[in-house]
Amino acid sequence: MSRVKTLAGLRLVLARIAIRHGLGAPDREQAFALGASEVDHVLGGGLNRAALHEIHAPWADWSAAAGFCLALARRAAPERPLLWARPDFLDDEAGRLNGVGLAEFGVDPALLSLVRGRDAQAVLRAGMEAARCKSLGAALIEIVGTPHVLKNLTATLRLARAAEKSGVTLFLLRVGLEDAQTGPPPSAAASRWQARACLSRALSANAPGAPGFEITLLRHRGLTAERSWRLEWLRDQGLFHQIPEPDDAALPRSLPALPADGAVAPLRRRAG
Amino acid sequence: MRLCGGAPDEGPFALVEKRANAQRLFALDPAALAQGLTPGLSLSDARARLPSLLVAPADPAADRALLLRLAARCERYTPLAALDEPHGLVLDIAGCAHLFGGEEAMRARVIADFRAWGLTAQAAVAPSPDCARALARFSAGGTFTDQAEGAVARLPLAALEADEEIHFALGRAGFKTLGDLAARPTRVFAARFGNEFPFRLERLFGRADHRITPLRPPPDRMVERHFLEPFSQREAVESVIDDLLHDVALLLEQRGEGGRRFELSFFRADGHVRRLDIETLRPTRDEKFLARLFREKLDSLADPLDPGFGFDALRLAVPRAETCDAHQESFDGAARNDNERELSELLDRLTTRFGRARVLRFMREDAHEPERESRAVPASAPPSTWPAPVPGEPPARPLTLFDPPQPVEVVALAPDGPPARFRWRRKIHDVLRAEGPERIAPDWRLHGLEAPERDYYRVEDAEGRRFWLFRHGLYERGEAAPRWFLHGLFA
């Protein structure tokens, strides 16, 4: 028994060293690019496919972060089955996943399986099962706060190892960490991001444009300092694109008055 | 098989029912019968004769519920168990008796089991259900395989269980046993009592058979194991499950089938029956995979398997199976097939662990109301096809929908314009970009013609968060101020 424990302990130490020194670096085949060249350059070509990636988000940006994860999953495993594991109560907090909305975002709902877990433990368990299934392209695991099982490295390490073995890309979406006093919880993830919504590039008539994300790379092999970008997700091309810095920053302004004839436009894009 | 039991030990006991405005005895225990009381006697008469009589109201519904529970327990002996109302059970034991060491041994086992469950049972084994019923109710019981006719012939007329006038008439004519009736030509009785009568006799003598209707349809594919010594260790249970799966895999292979649903019944020595079900997305007879599913199921039970004093029988049935070819279809299809199989096995494992309601896929519904367009359904549903989004347009529908939509306070610059600012969950959002309205009328079949329309807006606040809001009702109709709701969140 004690020998087993020692072995597990040694593996943990080894894994920590490997993470720190970026050992087991991905070969080009194994990496997927985001499509935004500046980001891909910093990532050294892209993110590792057979790995665990962690995306943090404040509560208010949950849906943006979920969108960012979904888009990454699409980049990592286009046309392949996805699994999404989420805790029950998120349906009340963030709404139920909407098949039509997924399709509109560029994810074929027919390829997505949804597992609803009673608690974080169940969600992680489903994620672990998914991580071992070679025929899955990617899996998205949603965790709120820091449940007991994620207080140490063991759970994420197991996920990361399973992903390495099976080639399934894992995304651990973590919301509600902003209350944590102790800084980010330990994790064996190959990359760690912070994702927020950002203002889209307006279409005509000031309609909201392609989904925009403000992402910060917090940790990645070879990264020396945090980097932030503003990206938009181009669904039709299936890639991210960096939003050019605006000459005049978009500032809140009052909306122009509408014609008072009460007419209703047959098509959208009339507002404002 | 006749059952009576559950009476207190203290003394003469009777169940009473209210009939024709009087409390009358309905059923009696042996002590009360020995005192000369009979069913049908009024309670006041009975009390006059036997002041110490204990009574309780008769409860036919509870009797029936007990009988149903007992029938379920009897499925340990055979899957073909049926009620023989009002007070009996009938079991079709053809092909099962050898598992218990022959018919007489099986009968003794049944009676002993019932005694262990606190019930007194009387049982007879006979070639037909009617014959067995008559022998169980009107003789001391026993196993009558070859000499059934002789035994029935010695039964009293009461075994006919016919109308009172018939009994009266036959008694007047001097008949005493069923044998007396059988010695006469049947047409005599047919003329006097109707055509049903000879058939009744035929059935009682086991010359005409009729099938019983079991409580649950018997599965075609079924294997079972019985044990002399009950066992309770988890390892033993698992190894028996492995054996059963091996047998059922062979059975399915012979039939060229794979199962979609597997039902494992645990028969506890004290009569309790527990059933576990697993389902698979594809027909399978892979015993290793199925064993893993059952282990998963055992591990994830909210109400764990309680062996009590041990299980003495396990049965594995396959209520749902489909044809399933062992051969790979084609060489190039093999890899794809493997992938699909692996994925469906993952979903099976998850479904077994978390339940059908928690492993879902999206199904598209033919509805134009946003909340009904997409539904999360169990993974076993067929896949839907989804419309491709309009190229060049940002997502027109949000990633998530709130059910129900959440009320928000809105400030709009124009009465029928987009929101300029709204408050949701105590937070103020300034709207920077908006698109709309997209008018969606409620389904009049569900909400009636008067239901107000919804004007949807896609909006983005100063921090880039994207929301789907709608205004319920219109100003121009002169209704009260329209209300606003937040229906979903965009990515």
Each residue's pLDDT tens digit, A146-156 = 999 998 999 99
Q: How many CB pairs under 8 A join A and B?
A: 261
| Average pLDDT of the segment spanning A131-151 | 94
Phi then psi for residue A97, to 5 deg, are -65, 140
Q: How distant is the Cα of B354 from the closest Cα of chain A, in angstroms?
A: 7
Q: What is the pLDDT of residue A261?
A: 47
Most confident region among A130-134, B11-15, B215-219, B271-275 by mean pLDDT: A130-134
Q: How distant is the Cα of B459 from the closest Cα of chain A, in angstroms?
A: 7
Q: Using the beta-carbon criterion (under 8 Å), do B427 and A258 form an inter-chain contact?
A: no
Q: Band of the pLDDT at B327, cuts 50, 70, 90?
A: low
Token pair in block for residue B351? 């479904």
Residue type, A42: V
Contact residues, B window 301-340, toward A, CB-based 8 Å cutoff: 338-340
DSSP state of B53: -
Query: For the residues of B462-473, what is the DSSP string, one character each?
Result: TT--EEEEEEES
Q: Where are the domains of chain A?
A: 53-242
Interface test with B, best of A89, A115, A166 (most B CBs within 10 A): A115
Q: What is the pLDDT of residue B474?
A: 66
pLDDT surpasses 90 at B2: no
Q: Using the beta-carbon criterion (under 8 Å), do A208 and B466 form an inter-chain contact?
A: yes
Give Cα B129 to chain centroid, integer Å.
25
Task: Name the CATH superfamily for A53-242.
Answer: P-loop containing nucleotide triphosphate hydrolases (3.40.50.300)
Task: Kindly report, residue by residue over A66-102, the tens digit of the pLDDT.
Answer: 999 999 999 999 999 999 999 999 999 999 999 999 9
Q: Using the beta-carbon criterion (under 8 Å), do B465 and A63 form an inter-chain contact?
A: yes
Q: What is the pLDDT of residue A53?
A: 97
- CA dihedral sign, ordered A23, A28, A34, A37: positive
Helices (H), B6-126: 30-34, 43-49, 60-74, 103-116
Own/partner pairs, A231-235, CB within 8 angstroms, 24+ separation: A231/A34, A231/A36, A231/A39, A232/A200, A232/A201, A233/A67, A233/A68, A233/A71, A233/A105, A233/A106, A233/B491, A234/A35, A234/A210, A235/A104, A235/A105, A235/A106, A235/A210, A235/B389, A235/B395
Please tell me if the domain spanning B2-58 has the same topology as the one spanning B222-351: no
Phi then psi for residue A223, to 5 deg, are -85, 130
Calculate the average pLDDT of chain B.
87
Q: What is the pLDDT of residue A63?
A: 95
| Cα–Cα nearest to B176, from B155, B190, B192 | B155
Whole-angstrom distance, CA of residue B490 vs CA of residue B479? 30
Task: Kindly report, residue by residue over B20-34, the tens digit of the pLDDT.
Answer: 788 888 888 888 888
Q: What is the pLDDT of residue A28?
A: 47
Task: Kindly report, residue by residue over A18-75, the tens digit of the pLDDT.
Answer: 655 555 444 446 899 999 999 999 999 999 999 999 999 999 999 999 999 999 999 9
Task: Kindly report, residue by residue over B228-249, the tens digit of the pLDDT.
Answer: 889 999 999 999 999 999 999 9
pLDDT surpasses 70 at A215: yes
Q: What is the pLDDT of residue B356?
A: 92
* Radius of gyration of the CA atoms of chain B, in A: 34
Nearest-Cα residue of chain B relative to residue A200: B464
| Average pLDDT of the segment spanning B13-19 | 87
Q: What is the pLDDT of residue A17?
A: 67
- Is residue A191 within 8 A of residue A219, CB to CB? The reply is yes
Out of 3.40.1170.60, 3.40.50.1240, 3.40.50.300, 2.40.110.10, the CATH code matching B2-58 is 3.40.1170.60
pLDDT surpasses 90 at B40: no
Nearest-Cα residue of chain A relative to residue B400: A97
Q: How distant is the Cα of A62 from the closest Cα of chain B, in angstroms?
A: 8
Among B395, B436, B488, select the one facing A105 at the smallest CB separation.
B395
Whole-angstrom distance, CA of residue B204 vs CA of residue A42? 91
Q: What is the pLDDT of residue B267?
A: 93
- CA dihedral sign, ordered B308, B218, B222, B285: negative
Instruction: For residue B339, list chain A residues with Cβ-Cβ distance below 8 A.
Output: 134-135
Whole-angstrom distance, CA of residue B318 vs CA of residue B265? 11
Q: Within 10 A of A175 (CB to CB), how many other CB atoms are there?
A: 23
Task: Kindly report, residue by residue over B328-382, the tens digit of the pLDDT.
Answer: 445 556 677 888 889 999 999 999 999 999 999 999 998 888 999 999 999 999 9
Q: What is the pLDDT of residue A246?
A: 65
- Is residue B82 within 8 A of residue B90, CB to CB? The reply is yes
Lowest mean pLDDT among A114-128, A130-144, A236-250: A236-250
| Cα–Cα nearest to A100, from B485, B409, B384, B287 | B384
**More confident of the two residues A30 and A2:** A30
Q: What is the pLDDT of residue A138?
A: 97
Whole-angstrom distance, CA of residue A213 vs CA of residue A231? 5
The beta strands (E) that lie in A58-111 are given as 82-87, 96-97
Q: Where are the domains of chain B?
A: 2-58, 62-204, 222-351, 400-489
- State whether CATH 3.40.50.720 applies to domain B222-351: no
Q: Using the beta-carbon criterion (under 8 Å), do B488 and A108 form an inter-chain contact?
A: no
Interface test with B, best of A63, A107, A206 (most B CBs within 10 A): A63
Q: Using the beta-carbon criterion (under 8 Å), do A210 and B416 form an inter-chain contact?
A: no
Contact residues, B window 351-390, toward A, CB-based 8 Å cutoff: 353-354, 357-364, 370, 373-376, 379, 383-389
**More confident of the two residues A174 and B214:** A174
Q: What is the pLDDT of residue B286?
A: 93
Instruction: For residue A106, list chain B residues with Cβ-Cβ distance below 8 A.
Output: 389
Q: What is the pLDDT of residue A256?
A: 46
Contacts of A112 (CB under 8 A, 6+ apart): A81, A82, A83, A84, A102, B361, B362
Among A114, A118, A258, select the one facing B360 at the smallest CB separation.
A114
Phi then psi for residue B40, to 5 deg, are 100, -20
Task: Kindly report, residue by residue over B436-452, the tens digit of the pLDDT.
Answer: 899 998 877 777 777 78
Instruction: For residue B416, list chain A residues with Cβ-Cβ distance below 8 A.
Output: 258, 262, 264
Q: What is the pLDDT of residue A25?
A: 45
**More confident of the two residues A14 and B242:** B242
CA distances from B151 to B129, B141, B161, B178 (A): 15, 10, 17, 10
Among B347, B376, B490, select the one facing A211 at the smallest CB separation.
B490
pLDDT surpasses 70 at B7: no
Phi then psi for residue B472, to 5 deg, are -100, 110
Token pair in block for residue B91? 């079991």
Contacts of A254 (CB under 8 A, 6+ apart): B413, B420
Nearest-Cα residue of chain A relative to residue B387: A103
| Average pLDDT of the segment spanning B130-154 | 87
pLDDT surpasses 70 at A271: no
| Average pLDDT of the segment spanning B177-196 | 84
Q: Band of the pLDDT at B52, cuts 50, 70, 90?
A: confident
Q: Residue B92, CB half-sphere, CA atoms under 13 Å: how many?
A: 15
Nearest-Cα residue of chain A relative to residue B405: A95
Q: What is the pLDDT of residue B302?
A: 85
| Terminal CA-CA length for chain B | 67
Q: Using the beta-carbon criterion (under 8 Å), do A271 and B435 form an inter-chain contact?
A: yes
Calculate the average pLDDT of chain A.
86
Helix axes A120-131, B333-354, angle to 10 degrees: 160
Nearest-Cα residue of chain A relative to residue B438: A268
Q: What is the pLDDT of residue B49?
A: 87
Instruction: For residue A197, list chain B residues with Cβ-Cβ distance below 8 A.
Output: 463-466
Angle B203-B206-B210 from CA coordinates, rounded to 5° = 60
Task: Kindly report, residue by residue over B249-299, the tens digit of the pLDDT.
Answer: 999 999 999 999 999 999 998 888 999 999 999 999 999 999 999 999 999
What are residue B421's DSSP bridge partners? Answer: B411, B430
Among B343, B350, B457, select the one facing A81 at the smallest CB separation.
B343
| Cα–Cα nearest to B151, from B126, B168, B172 | B126
Whole-angstrom distance, CA of residue A63 vs CA of residue B384? 24
